[in-house]
Structure 1
């Protein structure tokens, strides 16, 4: 897969977007046995890849299952973990809750895009176990 990310042709941005979506669509919801794709939490249209000088920006927007979903930050953390462990380092990741779909989206967006908060969360063995379960078959 990394070969597609190494290619700099403009036509490959669409292919990269498809690859990113393929990586995240099979993540299992923390509360349900369905995937994020099956629950319409993620969609290919809400994944974008663009150039940033020599690097790329990957942006994923997701929709929690309900506006007060208590595990929305865990879903974002699972998406981030999957992408960070599956793609080359020359990417910047931005992960957001779709505007208007969650009551505390701004706070959660700050959490899932803050390196220190992510590192602290992943030091928690219980959170790490749940994230690993979500990623198990993705």
Structure 2
């Protein structure tokens, strides 16, 4: 067992078999996808193509998860890299699932904070690692 993890034994769910699959994003702490941990589900992704708007509501595995900001940033970067630039991306923590929900929502949706975070090469390296498809 790897020691020093914040959540050493998360609940792991089976990947669902469906025609439309949520892109896998690796959890920053475990070699599991956010989908496997049910941090992000198909139901938590809303797309309004007419209004060019995407909203993802994610549920951290613990209400004091220190990785929640990084998870939100990974989701945002994945969408930024995958969608045409016309889309407005809104990332939210599910209501009542994190003790600093309001601060997290503000931070991961603030363009200037996101831009500053993405100027940090160490942070970009961590995000890129979470977005690699070869974690299974």
| CA distance, structure 1, for counterparts of residue 84 and residue 48 of structure 2 | 15
Conservation of the 8 A alpha-carbon contact between 2:45 and 2:56? yes
From the two aligned structures, give the one with the greater helix fraction: 1
Deviations 1:107-130 (A, max 9, x none): 011011011000001111221111
| CA distance, structure 2, for counterparts of residue 88 and residue 22 of structure 1 | 17
Conservation of the 8 A alpha-carbon contact between 2:22 and 2:35? no
Give the TM-score taking structure 1 as reference length.
Answer: 0.79
Aligned length: 116
Give the TM-score taking structure 2 as reference length.
Answer: 0.80
Structure 1 segments unaligned to the other structure (5+ residues): 1-17
| CA distance, structure 2, for counterparts of residue 102 and residue 119 of structure 1 | 24
Q: Which residue of 2 aligns with 1:42?
A: 40
| CA distance, structure 2, for counterparts of residue 114 and residue 104 of structure 1 | 16
Structure 1 runs, 4 residues or longer, greater than 4 Å off: none
* 1:85-104 matches, cutoff 5 A: 85-104=81-100
Q: Secondary structure at the match of 1:94?
A: strand
Q: Give the root-mean-square deviation of aligned CA atoms.
A: 1.5
